[in-house]
Amino acid sequence: MLDRRFVVEHADQVRKNIANRQMDVPFDRFLELEEERKVLQQQVEEQRAQMNELTKKSGLSVEERREQGQVLKKSLKDLEERLAPLASEAESIFMRIPNLTDDASPVGEEADSETIGYGAAEKQEFDFTAQDHIQLMENAGMLNLEAAAKVSGSGFYYLVGDGALLELAMMRFALDHVMKSGFTPVLTPDLARDKLMEGTGFVPRGNESNTYHLEDMDLNLIATSEITLIGMFADEILDASNFPLKVVGQSHCFRSERAHGSATRGIYRVHQFSKTEMVVVCLPEQAEEIHMEMRKLEQEIFDALGIPYRVLEIATGDLGAAAYRKFDLEAWMPGRQGGSWGEVTSTSNCTDFQARRLKIRYRDEDGKPKYAATLNGTAISICRAMIALVENHQQADGSIKIPEVLQPYMNGKTEIKPLKEKGQAA
RNA sequence: GGAACGGUGGCUGAGUGGUUGAAAGCGGCACCCUGCUAAGGUGUUAAUCGGGUUUGUUCCGGUUCGAGGGUUCGAAUCCCUCCCGUUCCGCCA
C-alpha cells in the first residue's frame, strides 16, 4: 500500500497512475469518504479526550464520575457508529490502490511492453523440423504426463531419469550463480498463512484466487517462495547496517490457475513447479541499482544456458499492484509452431509498497523507523526454463545437448539421447 | 488431538481495575572520565494517526501491552471467542 497522506495530497498523480495501469479502483469515492472520515474522526477523538480528562480529574465522587461518564460514553458511541462504515469502506478502497510507477515503464497494456534487449545466444536455424518439449522429453524418457494425469490430474507431470536430474542441475546451477553475488540460500516452509499471502499480493480465497487454500485452516500452498522469504522480515525493524539483505529460496510453487481457461500443452502452465527465487530487502535509494543487478543475474543465467531471450520493460497495464517497475525475460521456444517467446523470469522493484503492508522497516540515521524497499526476481523457474532448454538445444536425432555449465551437475553428461522406443522409461 | 503455563517497547522482563506508555536490566545514542583498550559515571531512548505551527527535531490530542468482542465512569490488569508460543502426554516421518 501507499502512504495514506501521500495519496490524499497527490490525488491527481494517484488517479492518473490508476488509469495508466488500467485498474478499476473507485479512487474519487475514496477521497470523498476520506474527507468525511476525517471530520468524524476528529469529533470522536475530541470525545475521547474528554473521557480521558474525566478519568484523570481528581476531586470527583464516584457518583459524579459515573454520571458524567455515562453521558460522554453514549455520545461517543453514536459517533463511532457513524464512523465505522465510512472507515471500513475507505480502507477497502485504499488497499486496492496500486503502487506508483517508474517513468521508464511504457504506458499501455500488455502488448505495449517494450523489448529493451536480447540475450547473447542466437536463435538456432534448424535444418530439420523442430520438436516441441513434450515430444523431446517423452522420447527421451524425461517426462510422463499420462501418469501425472492419473495421479493428480491435468497440470501435473512427472520428471523422470535425466528429466529429474536436469531439474536438480538447473536449480543448483542458478543457486550457485546468484550466491556469488551475495545471496544467502534459504529453504522455506511451503505453506503460509492467509495474512502473508495477502500481504505479498496473492488472494488466498474466492474466485480470483490463483492459489491453493487448505480447507478449515489458515494455511495456503505458496505460489512462490517470495511469499515465505519476504515473510521472514514482516513486522520487523531491521538493522540497516546489514542491508541489502539478499536471500534466494528454492521451493515448489503451487498455482491453481483457475483464472486461465486455456489448456496450454505440456508443462508451460502447470499447478506445481520448482523455482529459485531471489528476494532483496534494502534501503529505498538502493532499490533501483539492485533491480538492475537482479536483471543482470537473470540474463547471465540464461546466457550461460545458451538460451535466446529478449528483455521486456513491462508496460503499466501489466504491472502487478506492488511493482513500481518490472522486467521480464522471455525465452525463445522454437518447439511452438514457428517458435515464439515465452515468459521465463520476472523481476520487480516494489519500492516500499509491499514493506508498508507487511511492516518491514529499518532505522534511519535519526533512529526513526522507515519502510524498507523490497525486490524480487526469478533466478530460474523450472518448467519454462526447461522447455526453452530442451527445445533450443535439440538435435536432428532428437537428442538434447546439455549446456556446459550444467554438465558438472549432470555427472559430466554432455547430451541426453532419445530412447529407442517411446514410453520405455515409464 | 489432550493438558498446563504463557504472549508487554530493538531485546530480556516487572506489572491483577484509576497520572503505567508502562519499573528494572541489556542494547542503542549523547556527553564526561580515560595515553590506548577494557571498565566506570551522567543523561537519553516505543510505534502510529490527526490537529496546530514562525515547515518547526516545539506544542495539543487520539490509538496501541497477540487479535477481536464484552463488563466498567475508568482495563495491560476482569469476562468471552480466536490466533500464536513453550512444556508434558498421545500420534508419527
> Residue A133 region, left (φ>0) first, then alpha (ψ -120 to 50), else beta?
alpha
| Residues above pLDDT 90, as percent of chain A | 62
Tens digits of residue pLDDT in A256-268? 876 554 556 789 9
Q: Give me the CA A24–C1' B39 separation in Å, rounded.
A: 64
Q: Where are the domains of chain A?
A: 4-94, 110-416
Residue A345's H or E segment, with its range, is strand A340-349
Residue A165 clears pLDDT 90, i.e. is over it: yes
> Residue A293 CA to B28 C1' — how many Å?
33
- Here the cell at position A182 is 551475495
* A123 CB less than 7 Å from any atom of strand B: no
pLDDT of residue A246 exceeding 70? yes
Quickly give A42 CA vs B51 C1' distance in Å.
9
User: Highest mean pLDDT: which of A63-72, A174-183, A335-344, A364-373?
Assistant: A174-183
- Rounded to whole angstroms, the distance from the CA of residue A239 to the C1' of nucleotide B36 is 30
Q: Which nucleotide's C1' is closest to A370 (Cα)?
A: B47
A425 pLDDT tier (thresholds 50, 70, 90): very low
Give residue A190's identity as a one-letter amino acid code: D
Adjacency order of strands within the sheet including A114-118:
A114-118, A309-313, A325-333, A340-349, A373-381, A272-282, A245-254, A184-186
CA of A238 to C1' of B85 (A): 22
Q: Mean pLDDT, to the nearest integer, of A224-231?
A: 93
**For residues A80-115, b (16+ Cβ closer than 10 Å) or e, as one string?**
eeebeebbebbeebbeebbbbbbeebbbeeeeebee
Shortest CA to C1' contact from A45: nucleotide: B62
Quickly give A87 CA vs B70 C1' distance in Å.
22
Return the CATH number of the domain spanning residue range A4-94: 1.10.287.40
Give the pLDDT of residue A326.
97
A49 nearest nt, CA–C1': B61
Distance A87 CA to B79 C1' (A): 28
ipTM: 0.83
Q: Which nucleotide has its C1' atom closest to residue A72's CA? A: B73
pLDDT of residue A422: 43
Q: Would the pLDDT of A424 be above 60?
A: no
Q: Which of residues 255-294 of A touch strand B (CB under 7 A)?
A: none
Closest C1' nucleotide to A52's CA: B74
Angle at A254 (CA atoms; ends A249, A258), nearest 5 degrees: 145
Q: State the Cα–Cα distance between residues A280 and A113, nearest whole angstrom.
A: 24
pLDDT in tens, A284-337: 999 999 999 999 999 999 999 999 999 999 999 999 999 999 999 999 999 988
Q: How far is the CA of A199 from the C1' of B60 (A)?
A: 35
Query: What is the band of A202 on the pLDDT scale with cuts at 50, 70, 90?
Result: confident
Find the Å distance, CA of residue A82 to C1' of nucleotide B78: 29
What burial letters (b/e) apply to A397-413, b meaning 16+ CB within 10 Å? Answer: ebbbbbbebbbebbeeb
A59 touches strand B (CB under 7 A): no
Q: What pTM was computed for the model?
A: 0.90
- Closest nucleotide (C1' vs CA) to A60 is B73
The set of strand B positions with any atom below 7 Å of a protein CB reads 10, 18-19, 28-29, 45, 47-51, 57, 61-63, 72-74, 83-84
The whole-number average pLDDT for the span A182-190 is 92
User: Within 328-387 of chain A, which residues have Cβ less than 7 Å from strand B?
Assistant: 361, 366-369
Distance A28 CA to B69 C1' (A): 33
Q: What is the distance between the terminal CA atoms of chain A, rounded to a whole angstrom?
A: 49
C1' of B18 to CA of A323 (Å): 50
Q: What is the mean pLDDT of residues A216-235?
A: 89
Q: What grid cell was written down for A284?
A: 529505498
Q: How much is the mean pLDDT over chain A?
A: 90
Work out if A94's Cβ lies within 7 angstroms of strand B: no
Asked whether residue A251 carries a pLDDT value surpassing 70, the answer given is: yes
What pLDDT score was predicted for residue A418? Answer: 94
Q: Architecture of A110-416 per CATH?
A: 2-Layer Sandwich (3.30)
Q: pLDDT confidence of A76, banded at 50, 70, 90?
A: confident
User: How far is residue A132's CA from residue A148's CA, in Å, rounded to a whole number?
Assistant: 19
